[in-house]
């Protein structure tokens, strides 16, 4: 069961083009947002769409692949782990930033399909 700990799989669409950067140590990192949408019927029988936005980060070779092949609107399946990073806001309050660190990516449909 260890392989199931902190494992996340999502299918959705990119909200922005990935942005590739290099760290001071020379590692590649790519960040982008991704939307997942659930559709269901509410108590009155009306169709409701609920969209959730996710912050995604890829490192090294996966970062290079994501920056090369992914574009805004592209449908992808991703797998990774959920992380929370602390930061301090302008008022000095402790806040947390949640993101998915990719371990795998599967290209599905492009926005034109």
Q: For the chain, 113 residues long, give each residue's pLDDT as a single digit of tens.
A: 566 788 999 999 999 999 999 999 999 999 999 999 999 999 999 999 999 999 999 999 999 999 999 999 999 999 999 999 899 999 999 999 999 999 999 999 776 65
CA–chain centroid gap for 74, Å, is: 12
Q: Give the 3-state secondary structure of residue 12.
A: strand
- End-to-end CA distance of the chain: give it in Å, rounded: 38
What is the third-level CATH fold of 2-107?
OB fold (Dihydrolipoamide Acetyltransferase, E2P) (2.40.50)
Please report the pLDDT score of residue 16 as a whole number.
94
Sorted by sequence, the CB contacts under 8 Å of residue 25 that are 6+ apart come out as none
How many angstroms separate the CA atoms of 3 and 49, rounded? 32
Please report the pLDDT score of residue 74 as a whole number.
94
**Rounded CA Rg of the chain:** 16
Domain positions in the chain: 2-107
């Amino acid at each position: 069961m260890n392989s199931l700990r902190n494992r996340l799989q999502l299918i959705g669409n990119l909200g922005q083009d990935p942005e590739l950067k290099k760290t001071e140590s020379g590692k590649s990192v790519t960040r982008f947002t991704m939307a997942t949408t659930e559709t269901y019927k509410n108590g009155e029988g009306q169709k409701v769409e609920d969209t959730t936005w996710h912050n995604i980060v890829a490192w090294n070779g996966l970062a290079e692949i994501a920056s090369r092949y992914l574009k805004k609107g592209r449908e992808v399946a991703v797998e990774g782990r959920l992380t929370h990073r602390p930061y301090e806001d302008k008022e000095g309050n402790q806040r947390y930033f949640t993101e998915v660190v990719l371990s795998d990516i599967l290209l599905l449909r492009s926005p034109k399909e």
